[in-house]
Structure 1
Amino acid sequence: MGVKDSYKHKGMRRSLVRKLREKGIANERVLEAIGTVPRHVFFDEIFESHAYQDKAFPIAEGQTISQPYTVAFQSDILEVKPGDKILEVGTGSGYQCCVLLELGAEVVTIEYKEKLSLLAQKMLGQMGYQASRYLVGDGSLGCQEYAPYDGIIVTAGAPIQAVEVLTAQLKPGGRLIIPVGDLTTQRMVKITKVSESQIVKEEFNNFAFVPLLGDKGWKK
């Protein structure tokens, strides 16, 4: 890994993992991934003290790096198995992608904003991570070219119309994790595609994400 990752950073990650346990994250594979990915690398050095606090933080293009609890929660309910093909809608900083890669996923990640996609690809390369595909485009439509997927994770707040098109790109048994709501608050939703004719929907707590842009998202 071509980045600075000191004993201090590792200690801060251990502290973060303890906080996530206290908040109810019990998935040991997810906790190990969070404890491995050097989140501070995504921060300018002047803001490094914020890197292992359990909060979102602004990045380029008016976006944010997600709160660690949110990343852990979504990764947990996605139920990633090694070798799963996962579509990530919203590359953002690339932090969630790193966690998915640590969980053994084959990740196709799509980002609406080209600048963010290029920055994330460069950053992940420096860290020794590599997604299968870095795409620029309308993630609200998913990515039919590489479908079907074992899982789809959406890292931006979506209107309800995004659910159907993304669910259609799942394999039988596949899971869609998507925050659904308005522009300020969303409820985390898990769709399990039991078969082509049957889905199971579960709803969890409220979260707040930046808006999902695109044809089935919020218009820019």
Structure 2
Amino acid sequence: MKDTYRHQGLRQQLVEVVRAKGIEDEKVLKAIGKVPRHLFMDSGFLDHAYQDKAFPIAADQTISQPYTVAFQTELLEVKPGDKILEIGTGSGYQTAILCELGCRVFSIERQNELFKKTSKFLPKLGYRAKKLIFGDGYIGLKEEAPFKGIIVTAGAPFVPKALLAQLEIGGRLVIPVGDNVQTMTLFIRKGPKDFEKHEFGDFRFVPLLEDKN
């Protein structure tokens, strides 16, 4: 697993592309510049690794577009030590960005193939989430709640009530809501039953899968 000067140079070019699209949080941009995205993809796709686009990975899933990762992360407004729940581990790229920012990350993945692969891969890069879970993202992780932030990295047809319930007061849920096209939505918990809602335009994600058993 090599991270050469060429890779690092391509990453800095990507940072400038993401910055030009409106990402302002320097901590997020620095994390994008540090995480070796090419290692999260098959080696034959280096030419695609540092383009600002999503790309297919195993189990009919995708590694998200870097701008989308940065956009969602910026909305979370994380600080080092924050307890964050990620719904949809996928390739682990978003997980790594959160770890790079100093978060205590709990991440749930519904696809067993991806869960097994990413669980072994992330520690090899030095990114150690607090817990990686194979399970149903719709129900969250009640035993570890409350969370400072929850980030959903797949398109949800509705907002799971369990995720809202697992936010701490002042906590933020970032979730793309919709079927074919999703609206990026931010919920901020203001009280036990009081949530502030903000919407940020259209994005496209693979669907968030629910455990039907």
Return the TM-score normalized by structure 1. Answer: 0.94
Residues of 2 paired with 1:207 and 1:161: CA distance?
16
Deviation readout 1:4-24 (Å, 9 max, x if unpaired): 110000000000000011100
User: What's the counterpart of residue 127 of structure 1?
Assistant: 125
1:151 positional shift: 0.4
User: What's the counterpart of residue 169 of structure 2?
Assistant: 172
CA RMSD of aligned residues (A): 1.2
Q: How does 1:1-220 map to 2 (within 5 A)?
A: 3-162=1-160, 164-182=161-179, 184-214=180-210
SS of 1:156's partner is coil
Q: Which amino acid aligns with 1:6?
A: T
Residues of 1 paired with 2:119 and 2:34: CA distance?
19
- Percent identity of paired positions between Structure 1 and Structure 2: 57
Unaligned runs of 5+ in 1: none
Q: Which amino acid aligns with 2:171?
A: G
1:203 positional shift: 0.3
SS of 2:190's partner is strand
1:197 positional shift: 2.8
Unaligned runs of 5+ in 2: none
Q: Which amino acid aligns with 1:83?
A: G
Return the TM-score normalized by structure 2. Answer: 0.97
Change (3 A) 1:117 1:150: same
SS of 1:195's partner is coil
Q: Which amino acid aligns with 1:171?
A: E
Structure 1 residue ranges, 4+ long, deviating more than 3 angstroms after superposition: none
Task: Identify which range, 44-53 or 65-74, moves more after superposition.
Answer: 44-53
1:205 positional shift: 1.2
SS of 2:199's partner is strand
Deviation readout 1:144-195 (Å, 9 max, x if unpaired): 1111100000000002242x2211000001000000011x100000000011
Deviation readout 1:36-57 (Å, 9 max, x if unpaired): 0000001222111100000000
Task: Identify which range, 51-60 or 115-124, moves more after superposition.
Answer: 115-124
Residues of 2 paired with 1:66 and 1:178: CA distance?
14
